[in-house]
Amino acid sequence: MNTDGWVRTWGASPQMAPGVLGSLETCPAFTDVTLRQVVRISGGGRQLRIRMTNEFGTTPLDIGAAHVGLATPGGGVRPGSGRALTFAGRPTATVATGALILSDPVDLPVPALARLSIDLYLPRRVASCTCHDPALDTGWMIPGDVVAAPTLPENAGSLPVRALISAVEVLPDSPAEAIVVLGDSRVDGIGSTPDANQSWPDLLAERLLERGGAAVYVSNQGISGNRMLNDGLGTSALARFDRDVLATPGLARNRRPWTISRRFCAVYPALT
């Protein structure tokens, strides 16, 4: 049962950089750069918090600053929506090797299907990036600390993966529940049009919103090339089930496991 009201509204399953699809091979190391990433959430709320991950890092991850706001086309942030993120009240954080961190909640009312712009400033070299590949939303790397930039700087370069962020959670205005879609590339959305939110979990979120009634948020935990029992492109579905499904904030009990219901969804569609 969801006791504190927080619900996961977006997710991306963390992967080890050498074990992903290869998008990082031509990407320079993250050193003194700001990563700006866009995510589309499935359901809204009055507060939000963000999970950053160093689960597959080989050294501690230093976060020099972090920021969130409502995204505008072309990499900008809607005026008045920007919020600085803190960690236990501090603007910086060091995430231990193999660990993750949850930002403090921020007051930022967001509607369902809103697009968020999330900035992380990385002052020191990231030796091994915990990421998710592919990133179907365009992201950018910008030299220096530009986490509060209202528009995308001209020297921004392309970020080819979803880097160092694994979830967005919101505090809804009314009770809501989360469902999780777990699977391989069919779930992950590989091959769908970038920046169009056309993976089937994205479309499911839209259908649930159109249906009305009790709010149901969708967390996409697909990994392209994923396997059921053995690790491949990412941790196996069985090994990550507790982390990616059962530990999801807002996930309610389901009396009929392994089926799609309005309360819980775990799907293994033709895992590789």
Share of the chain above pLDDT 90, in %: 58
Which residue has tokens 């059962």?
246
pTM value > 0.85: yes
What is the per-residue pLDDT across 255-269, written as a single tens digit (0 to 9) for each? 444 444 445 555 554
Range from 20-34, 58-72, 181-195, 230-244 carrying the lowest mean pLDDT: 20-34
Residue 93 scores a pLDDT above 90: yes
> Residues 56-67: pLDDT tens digits?
999 999 999 999
- Name the residue with higher pLDDT: 248 or 68: 68
Distance CA 204, CA 134 (A): 20
Per residue in 108-159, pLDDT tens? 999 999 999 999 999 999 988 999 888 889 999 999 999 999 999 999 999 9
